[in-house]
Amino acid sequence: MMTTAFEVTTGPLPVGQFVNMIRKTIKNDSLFQNQVIRGEITQWKQYPSGHTYFALRDDEGQISCVIWRDRCAISPLIKEGVEVIVIANLDIFTKRGQIQLIVNKIEPVNAMGALEEEKKHLINLLRKEGHLDRIRKPLPTIPKHLAIVTGSGSAALADMNRLIDDRWPNLRRTVIGVTVQGELACNQIVKGIIAANNLSKQKENPVDLIIVGRGGGSPEDLWAFNLEPVARAIIASQVPVVSAVGHESDLLVSDLVADLRASTPSNAIERCIPYYDQFQLQIANLDQRIEDAAKRIISDCFNSLALLDSKLRNAPLQGVFNAKQRVSSLKSKMNTAIDNNFNRLRNDLTSSKNKVYNLVLTSVNHEKTKMAGYSSVLKSSHPKRVLERGYSLAMSKDGSIISSAKQVEIGDQITISLNDGLIESSVDKVSKGSE
């Protein structure tokens, strides 16, 4: 009888856990996310739920696909047997252990395909020119003047402003409103980047960081950020540029050439703007470190002078006299320098502490006002207030809230919560609304 030795790496693992490990590996690998794939449609079926299931095939393989409801537009030209190009993320259906593509975009061949070919050509050109491998410009630790190139009045801009106010109140920023999709978008984005660079040349409060971005959308909506003029403008910028376009899964040419790629506009603020309170703590720690270092330097200097004085005492008389004169002069100069440096350092630290205190006080007062408003809203929306107005709350046996007739069946035990008590009840009849 032949036996085979196996090397066990893990386990034994439950099947579901193992499949989820595979799923996590797939979703964390950029190779399998936002991939462009070409194939022929087969097994095409659109369900009443709005979801569409099909498979892509060619002579060498086949893979299952799904388009979730409202995920993307489906052209009337797309049907069984049509050759298409999809942009999709690889995933695995854990209940069946089935690999499938989650489709974010689908177009007949020669529609989306032509744009993707142009994008690939541009990326290859920029790579050959060395722009993708160039040394990126460092971002400022704390931007003094931030320029945001995006759609004015957009949700992305509102999110960025909210995060800036939460993290570093009163940070100077300039919004350069541009069109971020359509035929005019490319030219306007380029002009916006140029305008931000011009603001970096002003003598007072120059721009030292640029964020270029917009919220999510279809690949066509984001396509301006894949065009060569926008890429060239980012490369030519004298000010560090952060590309913050779309969702985390979107990867555009602007992301490849920018000094920093942020997954979303909100992520750009989180990565570029620190919390003011944390920075204040860093200043305090730095203050203490400077003081400790100064004390060590002074101690070392006096120890060196004491050693020199000891050596000179044993020297010839004339040498001792001359050396003492030099030591005396050195001591005088050193004491003067130490006094000057300490006075300057003390004044600088006092000024910094006053500025920090004023900024903290402003921020605290602002937050107090906001919290008072939040408290008022929370009190008015408390469930107890709703019950007092004559409404009731139905809960299942396990304590979960019943919001739909689909959650109960005849014979189920339910609890009805009123303003002044509870009612235990059994379900005798369920009338469910139309699907």
Report the distance separating Cα 278 and Cα 53, nearest Å. 50
Report the distance separating Cα 336 and Cα 348, nearest Å. 18
**What digits encode the pLDDT tens for the residues 250-295?**
789 999 999 999 999 999 999 999 999 887 886 767 766 787 787 7
The residue behind tokens 């992520």 is 267
Question: Of the given ranges (288-292, 343-347, 389-393, 430-434), which has the lowest mean pLDDT?
Answer: 430-434
Q: Are 51 and 93 in contact (CB under 8 A)?
A: no
Q: Kindly give the interhelix angle for 228-236 and 112-128, rounded to the nearest 10 degrees.
A: 30
DSSP 297: H
> Which DSSP string do the residues of 316-370 spell out, in sequence order?
-HHHHHHHHHHHHHHHHHHHHHHHHHHHHHHHHHHHHHHHHHHHHHHHHHHHHHH
Please give the mean pLDDT across all residues of the chain.
86
Query: Looking at residue 11, what is its pLDDT?
Result: 67
Query: Looking at residue 354, what is its pLDDT?
Result: 78
Residue 286: its H or E element: helix 276-313
**What digits encode the pLDDT tens for the residues 203-245?**
999 999 999 999 988 887 899 999 999 999 999 999 999 999 9
The residue behind tokens 């995006």 is 150
Q: What percent of the chain lies above the pLDDT cut of 90?
A: 44
Report the distance separating Cα 363 and Cα 358, nearest Å. 9
In this structure, the dihedral spanned by the alpha carbons of residues 336, 340, 342 and 343, taken in order and rounded to 10 degrees, is: 130
**What digits encode the pLDDT tens for the residues 332-341?**
888 887 878 7
**What digits encode the pLDDT tens for the residues 122-159?**
999 999 999 999 999 999 999 999 999 999 999 999 99
